[in-house]
Amino acid sequence: MNIRSLFSLFSSDLAIDLGTANTLVYAKGKGIVVNEPSIVAINKNNGEVEAVGKEAKEMLGRTPGNIVAIRPMKDGVIADFKVTERMLNYFIQKAHGRKMLVHPRIVIGVPSEITQVEKRAVIDSAYRAKASEVHLVEQAMVAAIGAGLPITEPGGNMVVDIGGGTTDVAVISLAGIVYSRSVRVAGNELDEAIIQYLKRKYNLLVGERTAEQIKMTVGSASELDKPLTMEIKGRNLIEGVPKTLTIGDEEIRDALAEGISTIMNAIRVALERTPPELSADISDRGIVLTGGGGLIKNLDKRIRQETGLPVSIAEEPLACVALGIGKMLSDFKLLRRIAIE
């Protein structure tokens, strides 16, 4: 048995969806092995990492002065280089069951309008986390693969990937991106809009975890069949005491309106810039929504109303990018065609 095949037996290739909100790691032959929030809690006194992922998310907004919970990714790109590296390290070790001597080949998804500097940062972080090779692919492209679209055929596929930091809209044909646009309005921006709205209207301050819960429970993009309400807790800014309030879906729809129209606009522009032959394909196949933002109630309905096109939500919207990058691991030919280096 030669060394090469022995090596492939212990192949440790990983596909990483390094997201603003969550990081998913797909291990070749195993599927998704890590799916945790992209958050790191650090002890300021000694610089040690206290927790990463789920545990660190529990700490958001609840830490004592000496511990800070950091989201090292912002708008889909690395905002804090050192912390990202430590987070990657942790997730890679976790994916390999803490085996120290792994030097995996890594494929990472990045937003389509990422700058050279931002690309460099992702590649360096991965190499510092002990990767042996690093390849980058565009998120919208791999989201389409993960959603099961026939991207290698000559035919237009349109995918709208709404993540935590960016919304990527892309039209894909023949394993290439014909048009892509990434807007930095996505899940986190919508949470922020809810925080600002409650502050303005009710003088109620809520944390980002609560805002996300509100978005997931009563957030919607167009009128719901039956109204929803939710009890929320926060701090009254005038009296400074904790306060509970009941809000309805209509108010939250107001809060989200601006962000949702930015996303709608990006879709509209993409449709306007698509070559006519591909437009015809898209009007048959429709638009596929991926990413956590695709789960906002009635967003598919709203896009359908405004574009007149069929809209579907991918089977596992949150995992599409990771699954798509995962497919690259066993198909290096396809990876070569779509990697951006």
Q: Are 9 and 82 contained in the same domain?
A: yes
Question: Using an 8 Å Cβ cutoff, are 339 and 333 in contact?
Answer: no
**Domain boundary residue among 230, 255, 280?**
255
Q: Would residue 230 count as lying in a domain?
A: yes
pLDDT of residue 2: 45
pLDDT of residue 250: 93
The domain tally of the chain equals: 3
Q: Are 162 and 294 contained in the same domain?
A: yes
**Calpha distance 186→212 (Å, rounded):** 12
Closest CA to 136 of 325, 326, 340: 340
Question: Which residues span the domain enclosing 282?
Answer: 154-185+265-318
**Calpha distance 80→71 (Å, rounded):** 8
**Calpha distance 315→297 (Å, rounded):** 15
pLDDT over 60 at 7, yes or no: no
Q: Indicate the range of 9-18, 64-73, 202-211 predicted with least confidence.
A: 9-18
Q: Would residue 27 count as lying in a domain?
A: yes
CATH number at residue 237: 3.90.640.10
251 CB-contact burial (10 Å; exposed 0-12 / middle 13-18 / buried 19+):
middle
Q: Model-level pTM?
A: 0.87
**Domain boundary residue among 255, 278, 294?**
255
pLDDT of residue 99: 65
Q: Would residue 147 count as lying in a domain?
A: no
- In the 8-state DSSP scheme, what is residue 228? -
- Which pairing describes strands 133-138 and 105-110: parallel, antiparallel, or unpaired? parallel
Q: Are 166 and 116 contained in the same domain?
A: no
Closest CA to 114 of 18, 192, 187: 18
Among residues of the chain, what percentage have pLDDT more than 90? 49
| pLDDT tens track for 90-135 | 888 888 876 666 678 899 988 888 889 989 998 998 898 888 889 9
Question: Using an 8 Å Cβ cutoff, are 194 and 211 in contact?
Answer: yes
**Calpha distance 265→270 (Å, rounded):** 9
| pLDDT tens track for 170-200 | 999 888 888 888 888 999 999 999 999 999 9
Q: Are 32 and 95 contained in the same domain?
A: yes
**Calpha distance 228→219 (Å, rounded):** 9
pLDDT of residue 5: 44
Averaged pLDDT, 145-161: 89
Q: Would residue 148 count as lying in a domain?
A: no
Q: Are 59 and 122 contained in the same domain?
A: yes
Q: Would residue 260 count as lying in a domain?
A: no
CATH number at residue 78: 3.30.420.40
Question: Using an 8 Å Cβ cutoff, are 317 and 341 in contact?
Answer: no
Residue with tokens 């610089």: 47
Q: 3-state class of 235 per DSSP? A: strand
Q: Would residue 149 count as lying in a domain?
A: no
Q: Indicate the range of 88-102, 247-261, 294-308 predicted with least confidence.
A: 88-102
Q: Are 159 and 298 contained in the same domain?
A: yes
pLDDT of residue 9: 41
Q: Would residue 146 count as lying in a domain?
A: no
Q: Are 109 and 134 contained in the same domain?
A: yes
Q: Would residue 99 count as lying in a domain?
A: yes
